[in-house]
Amino acid sequence: MRATLASSTRRLRRLTLPGSAVAAAVGLILSGCQTDTPVSNTNPDNIPTVPITAAVSVTGRNAAGLTTHHMFRTLGTVDKMLHPTGRASATGDDNGGNVNSPFDLSNFGGAVVDHAVNWNVYVTCPTTPADCWGTGNLGPANFLRDLNRSNFIRLANQYTGSDLYGQFPTGEITVDTLLDNPLTPLDIGTYVIAASLATGRSGYDNIFHIFLPAGVDVCLGPTDCYSPDDPANWTFCAFHASFDSPLGGHLLFTVEPYQNVPGCPLPGQTPHGAIDATASTLSHEFFETITDPDGETWGNVQTGEEVADLCFVFRNNEHLGRHSYVIQSEYSNNVHLCTDQP
C-alpha cells in the first residue's frame, strides 16, 4: 500500500493576552443542552451534567485577559493544506513493513490525554446542535459518542500508551451570547473559562469544543482568520489550543467554526451533508488534542505537523456505531501510513 503525503508547515504560536485589552465584565448564560437524538437516559455517558439553567456571571474578558496562551495550532483551509512546502512519499503495509518513515511522529516528552470528558459548547444555536452543525438528527455529540465506542479511537493507543476505547464521554453546554463578529482569542478564552466554571472542570481530563454558528468569523490576527466572507484573510478552518487561567486552571479546547463551506471539506467529501464536514474537522482536532495537547508531545520532526495534519487528504466513509461519517484518516507510526485501523 502506497500513500503520498503532502506536508505543509503547521504554525505553533505562543501568545499572552494583554490585560490592557480587558473590557467590561461579560455575563454568559449557559444551560444544559438536550442530546442530539432522543434517548431514554438523558445522560448516556454517565457524567455530571451542567444544570439546566446556570447563570454564570464571569468577569469574562477580564479573566480571559489574564490567561497565558501556551499555544494554538491551526488547521489550514483546503487551499493552504494542498499547497505544501515539500512533498515526499511513505510506503508500508498493514503488517508494518517499514521500520520507520520520514513521516513518523516523535515524542518530545510532553503530556498526552488518555481519558477526558468532551464538553461541546454550542454558541448561539437557536434550535438544536444537529440543525446548526449536523444532518438530520446527527450532531457533534453523536459523532463523539460513536467515535468513543469504536476501534478507530484505538488508533491513538500507540501514542498515549493505554486503551482509549470508552474513555471520552461527552457532555453539552449552550451559550446564548455572541461576543463579537469576528471573534478574537479574547472572546474564545471567555467562552472556555465560562464553560469551565459552569462545569467545575479543568485540567487534562476535560476538553472544551467551541462550536461557532454559520456566518460567524474568528481571527487570530488581522490577516489570520476563519472568514469565508473575506477570502483574502481566510487562512484556517479550525484550531486547538491550551492555556492557563487564574480562574480555571489548565484548559484544553478546540474551536470549530461552521465547516460546511467550500474551503474546509474536500470537494465531494460530504455525502451525508454537514455532519461529515463537522465530524472530520472535529476528529482532526480531537486526535491532535489528545496526542499533543500543549504542542510539546507528538509531532513530525521535519515539518512540525501533528497526527492529523499528515492525513488531511485521506478521507473514508467510516461506520461508527449505527452511523456513517466521511472523516479523515490519522497517521500511524505502527504501519507508517494514514489509516483508520488501530
Q: Predicted confidence band at 1 (pLDDT cuts at 50, 70, 90)?
A: very low
Please state the rounded mean pLDDT for residues 243-253. 88
* Residue 52 confidence (pLDDT): 30
Judge contact between 13 and 220, C-beta under 8 A. yes
* Residue 44 confidence (pLDDT): 57
Q: Is the pLDDT of residue 48 over 90?
A: no
**71-98 pLDDT, tens digit each:** 678 888 888 888 653 333 343 343 444 4
Q: Which of 249, 241, 214, 227 is nearest to 306 (CA)?
A: 241
> What is the bridge-based pairing of β-strands 337-339 and 249-256?
unpaired
Specify the higher pLDDT residue, 87 or 122: 122
* Residue 9 confidence (pLDDT): 37
Reported pTM: 0.86
Percent of the chain with pLDDT strictly greater than 90: 61
Specify the higher pLDDT residue, 231 or 59: 231
